[in-house]
Amino acid sequence: MDKVISESIGAFSQHYPRVAIIVTAHAGGRDNAMAVAWHMPISKTPPLYGIVVSPKRFTYELILASKEFGINFLPAEQAELVAATGGSKGSEIDKFKAFNIAKDSSVKTAAPILKAAYAAYECRLVDDRLYGDHRLLVGEIVAVHYLEEAFMEDETLNLEKVKPVLYLGSEHYLGISECAIRTLDRESCANRLRS
Ligand SMILES: Cc1cc2nc3c(=O)[nH]c(=O)nc-3n(C[C@H](O)[C@H](O)[C@H](O)COP(=O)(O)O)c2cc1C
């Protein structure tokens, strides 16, 4: 089948699924939370994590003021909270009050850690750069909170216990009802495809 070729990224901008997270920040007596789908690990030593945030977001103002942020990985049951924090502005409402968001105590920063998160990072901002219409904010992870039972011995997610929020773009989220995990040995796959 022939593919459509376009010079505009808008023709294919829904490059999902991706795990959607909630980024939190605290400054000037205010907590805030927003949904983020554009995020990534950057370095193991030191541990660095990147988030891509529009400078229009209220969360960006709080991160800029505090130089800290929280990264919250939530189970699929919390997809509605992800959508709600991604569809409302902290400049207009207190999302923690409006959505009844429970917090755990943060240990190294003032960034809120969500009780519902199966894993969370507290980050200190180490870089903030504009790329086009978004900013890449890089944080050093200074504390990790996680539910031990959510992970296997090799530190991968135990999908029997927790399924992440998988975002498909637009207003769609993917529910995982059955898990078909394939464990693929890299070397044998390379050998098989070579022949
Ligand atoms: C699932 C989902 C993912 C999102 N991902 C991002 C993102 O990666 N970066 C971003 O700047 N905005 C993203 N947004 C939009 C913000 O979450 C949204 O603009 C939010 O209202 C900002 O809140 P704030 O103004 O209180 O900071 C996303 C929204 C949703 C629903």
Give the model confidence (pLDDT) of 50-85 as tens digits: 999 999 999 999 999 999 999 999 999 999 999 999
From the CB of 14, is ligand 1 less than 6 Å away?
A: no
CB 158 within 8 A of CB 166: no
Checking if the pLDDT of 11 tops 90, the result is no
Assess whether pLDDT exceeds 90 at residue 9.
Answer: no
pLDDT digits (tens, 9 = 90+) for 146-194: 999 999 999 999 999 999 999 999 999 998 888 889 999 999 999 999 9
Q: What is the mean pLDDT of residues 35-60?
A: 98
Question: Is the shortest distance between the CB of 23 and ligand 1 below 6 Å?
Answer: no
Residue 109 reports pLDDT greater than 90: yes
- Nearest Cα residue to atom 6 of ligand 1: 36
> Does any ligand 1 atom lie closer than 6 A to the CB of residue 69?
no
List helix spans (H) across 42-144.
58-66, 79-85, 95-98
Phi then psi dihedrals of residue 98, to 5 deg: -60, -40
Q: How confident is the model at residue 195, as a pLDDT?
A: 79
Q: How far apart are the CA of 60 and the centre of ligand 1, in A?
A: 11
What gap in Å lies between CA 120 and CA 78, rounded to an integer?
Answer: 14
β-pairing, 48-53 with 18-19?
unpaired
What was the pLDDT predicted at 100? 98
pLDDT digits (tens, 9 = 90+) for 112-154: 999 999 999 999 999 999 999 999 999 999 999 999 999 999 9
What is Dmax (Cα atoms) for the chain?
Answer: 62
Atom 7 in ligand 1: residue holding the nearest Cα: 36
- CB of 38 shorter than 6 A to ligand 1: yes
pTM of the predicted model over 0.95: yes
What is the position in ligand 1's atom list of the atom closest to the CA of 20?
A: 1
Q: Which helix (H) or strand (E) holds 141?
A: strand 134-146
Ligand 1 pocket, mutate which of 21, 23, 24, 34 (most atoms under 8 A from CB): 34
CA of 89 to the centre of ligand 1 (A): 9
